[in-house]
Structure 1
Amino acid sequence: MRWGVPIAVIAVVAGAIGAGPVIAAVQGEPVLPERTAEQLLADAAQATQSGLKPMSGTVMQTASLGLPGLPDVTGMGGSSPAALLAGSHELKVWYGGADRFRFALPGRMSETDLIVNGDQAWLWESEANKATRIKGAAQAGPDQQKAMPTATTPQQLAGELLKRTEAGTVVSVSNTEKVADRPAYQLVLAPKDASSLVKEVKVALDGETFVPLRVQVYAKSAAEPAFEVGFTSVTFTPPAPDNFAFTPPAGTKVEEKSLSDLSGGPEAQRERAEELKGEATTVGEGWTTVMVLPSKDLMGQAQPEKGERPGGQDQNAIADALLKAAEPVSGTWGSGKVIRTKLVSALLTDDGRLLVGAVTPDKLTEVAGQR
């Protein structure tokens, strides 16, 4: 369930929204009781912090990031990381509680499911005719649970976005939206800083539960969202128990893996993750935050295991295509190559740095000259 790949791009945007927003009124025919931006921010925070209510629905993710020269990897299936970087993809969600949920990601002629039902957890990949029983999922602590395959829903992304608002943000409100056939409020967050590539972020909140139903991220000079994830249908009632029952079909290849196996397993990977935390630094704050880290981390080779889907080759193909589209740039700070998409820019310097943020290339070169 590799929705984390495009979400990693949007995470730069999520970190850019930091309290004390400037409030602007939006006029419209009232459908729901009027609420101020402060009230809705508090309502949304409460809804995301109190935990998800039992529900089921269908989520649609649409990405149009303007990635240059993206390779055609559609043959790798609908859950391929590169495939999720463009076009629209559907995710079905059933949530009965923290120990009872299911995500289903349909592909062109396949489906990948993560099913957790009490002490049973399965990862089903129809394309490979393989079912993986995840050992120890019920007894796992919070850190170990992070190794579980995950899918990103509007609630998760909105939770990150709404953790912070900052003085450089104009917040406006409307009460006339309708998402998944439900009346909704909409918060519109717009940066003031001209060096941000983000025009605005729209977060639609259910009018009854205040649960986030849709998140849209707009790039400047674009009429359509560069990234959107939202429910097309949703029901806030407990799903039927049958949705969480799973028995591998006859002829299925059945494996058992621990959570550490799913996260990559080797101790070296975990050590590298900790090392990277120490190497990465941030410059600035709010919408124009720039992350600086060693450029070699962009080129890490994630090779697939024997018999596994070629996700590492997929990611390498993306990196190669992006580097081919990079443009040379230089200044008093040195020289390098810059990659720009609708929402994110990246600068790889010849002295071994990678600077990335939801900002213009000029902002990245400015930061490069300061360090």
Structure 2
Amino acid sequence: MPVAAVALVAGAVGAGPVIAAVQGDPALPERTAEQLLADAVRAARSDPRPMSGTLMQTSSFGIPGLPQVSGAGGSSPGALLAGSHELKVWYGGADRIRLALPGRMSETDLVVDGDRVWLWESGTNTATRITAGREDLAGHGRAPGDRAAEALPTAATPQQIAREVLERADADTAISVTGDEKVAGRDAYQLTLAPKDEASLVREIRLALDGETLVPLRIQVYAEGSAEPAFEVGFTTVTFSPPAPENFAFTPPPGAKVQEKALADLVPGPVGGQEKGEELADGAEVVGEGWTAVAVLPFSEKDLRGLASQKGQGAGSADAGAAEAAVESLLKSAERVDGAWGGGRIVRTKLVSALLTDDGRLLVGAVTPERLVEVAGQK
């Protein structure tokens, strides 16, 4: 789905846009939408340039049951599910990557330096050495850092999301372009992609592409009927030069708890990743394609409650209770639907709808509830 990556990144009631775009006189060569799209796709498929910068992410999906959060939250990856958050990035190549997620009184760092991969969590004073064979880290030809970075599964950059979006632009997408944006102090093109199918909850996706490198600097996802982005992530500062080697050096500080974990224990799913077209999970499938694709997978209310309980384990009783309370609130807010196919409960957010059927299926997509009900009747 065009916004599948976005839906995995975050979904909470948050603030409006936090990355300002400064309008000014056009300073870039004119390009048609088709030319810019083709160039952007080629750039997304090529190896990224060495760079460093600071990202800001904010989300306002409007998922019932999740608390209001504003400002910079905690430093755990799960904290990215609400409000606005900062992420620092250093990229020196496929095997030299550092991501830092700062919090109020702590920080979580993922450091990749060749085959040495560390996850540092200052809040618990824990350094985790991530172990796996190089072939496992690569995962079907992917670079070690690409796979290892999934240890922070909710930390998504504009490049990662834009790659997913650009690959899915088709005849059902209206495309336009302007060349007068400024993001992180750099001149940028703005490529706007809008679905033509009225069943999509997405009004449009705006990609700000660096005028020199075509690297995505910002991505904004607008829902139908909303004036502000439901999801936004972009650079507030960026430099396209190789980061200093010391940024990728990590030694556990004295007194830290040091442990080793296999990559498979930190990354959901097969270590090697999935090729395009592989099954998403046992019994899961995707109905339709493009903007209105719907994922259908075995999942029950019992599974949902169990997932909330699992997420709370090891995080403290307060966090566990909050997760369970969020699930209860979510289920109470769900609307009951029935038909010849059976029945279930449906939740609509700004960008995503989900239908949990009585017969143990979960249907989810960036589509209207009516589209989910239609698919449920087909299966």
Q: Same fold by TM-score, threshold 0.5 exceeded?
A: yes
- Is 1:69 the counterpart of 2:65 in the alignment? yes
Alpha-carbon distance in 2 for matches of 1:221, 1:210: 30
Cα deviation code 1:206-257 (max 9, x no counterpart): 0000011111100011111000111111000001111111121221111122
Q: Tell me if the contact between 1:73 and 1:80 (Cα under 8 Å) persists in the aligned partners.
A: no
Task: Determine the C-alpha separation between the residues in 1 that align with 2:123 and 2:102.
Answer: 10
Mapped partners of 2:50, 2:104: distance in 1: 29
Q: Is the 8 A contact 1:5 1:84 kept in 2?
A: no
Offset at residue 170 of structure 1 (A): 0.6
Q: Which residue of 2 aligns with 1:182?
A: 186
Aligned residue runs from structure 1 range 341-356, under 5 A: 341-356=349-364
Given candidates 38, 41, 61, the residue that maps to 1:45 is: 41
Structure 1 distance, partners of 2:279, 2:369, is: 27
**2:284 alignment partner AA:** A
Q: How does 1:195-234 map to 2 (within 5 A)?
A: 195-234=199-238
Task: Determine the structure 2 residue equivalent to 1:18.
Answer: none
CA distance in 2, matches of 1:291, 1:173: 31
Q: Is residue 4 of structure 2 the alignment partner of residue 8 of structure 1?
A: no
Asked if 1:192 corresponds to 2:188, the answer is no
Taking only the aligned residue pairs, the percentage that are identical comes to 62
Q: Which secondary structure state, in structure 2, belongs to the residue aligned with residue 279 of structure 1?
A: coil
> 1:118 deviation in Å?
2.2
User: Which consecutive unaligned segments of at least 5 residues does structure 1 have?
Assistant: 12-27
Is 1:235 the counterpart of 2:239? The answer is yes
1:274-330 per-position Cα deviation (integer Å, ceiling 9, x unaligned) = 986341122222211111111235455362697567887765554333222111122
Whether contact under 8 Å (1:45, 1:163) holds in the other structure is: yes
CA distance in 2, matches of 1:85, 1:201: 20
Equivalent residue number for residue 248 of structure 1: 252
Give the TM-score, by structure 2 length. Answer: 0.82
Tell me how many residue pairs correspond in the alignment: 346
1:369 aligns with: 377
Partners of 2:236 and 2:314 in 1: how far apart?
Answer: 35
1:160 aligns with 2:157: no
Deviation (angstroms), 1:140: 3.8
CA distance in 1, matches of 2:65, 2:241: 44
Return the alpha-carbon distance in structure 1 between the equivalents of residues 5 and 354 of structure 2.
16
- Taking the aligned partners of 1:280 and 1:130, their CA distance within structure 2 comes to 36
**Residues 118 and 370 of structure 1, relative CA distance in 2, 3 Å threshold:** closer
Instruction: Please state how far the C-alpha of 1:76 moved relative to its aligned partner.
Output: 8.9
Structure 2 vs 1, CA of residues 114 and 340 (structure 1 numbering), >3 Å: closer, same or farther? same
Deviation digits for residues 142-177 of structure 1, max 9, x if unmatched? Answer: 229536514311001000110121212110000001
2:263 is matched with: 259
- Report the more deviating stretch, 101-110 or 280-289: 280-289
Where does the alignment leave 5 or more consecutive residues of structure 2 unmatched? 12-23
Whole-angstrom distance in 1 between the partners of 2:223 and 2:178:
20
Q: 3-state DSSP class of the match of 1:277?
A: coil
Q: Which amino acid aligns with 2:125?
A: N
Q: Distance in 1 between matches of 2:45 and 2:261?
A: 31
Shift of 1:86: 2.3
Determine if contact 2:55/2:236 at 8 Å carries over to the other structure: yes
- Provide the aligned C-alpha RMSD in A: 3.1
The one-letter code of the counterpart of 2:117 is A
Alpha-carbon spacing, 1:137–1:316, altered in 2? closer, same or farther (3 Å): farther
Pair 349,152 (structure 1): closer, same or farther in 2 beyond 3 Å: same
- Determine if contact 1:339/1:347 at 8 Å carries over to the other structure: yes
Contact 1:303 / 1:313 at 8 angstroms: preserved in 2?
no
Deviation at 1:90, TM superposition (A): 0.5
2:28 is paired with a residue whose SS is coil
Distance 1:264 1:210 in 2: 31
Task: Provide the TM-score with structure 1 as the length reference.
Answer: 0.84
What amino acid does structure 2 have at the position aligned with 1:347? L
Give the equivalent residue in structure 1 for 2:113. Answer: 117
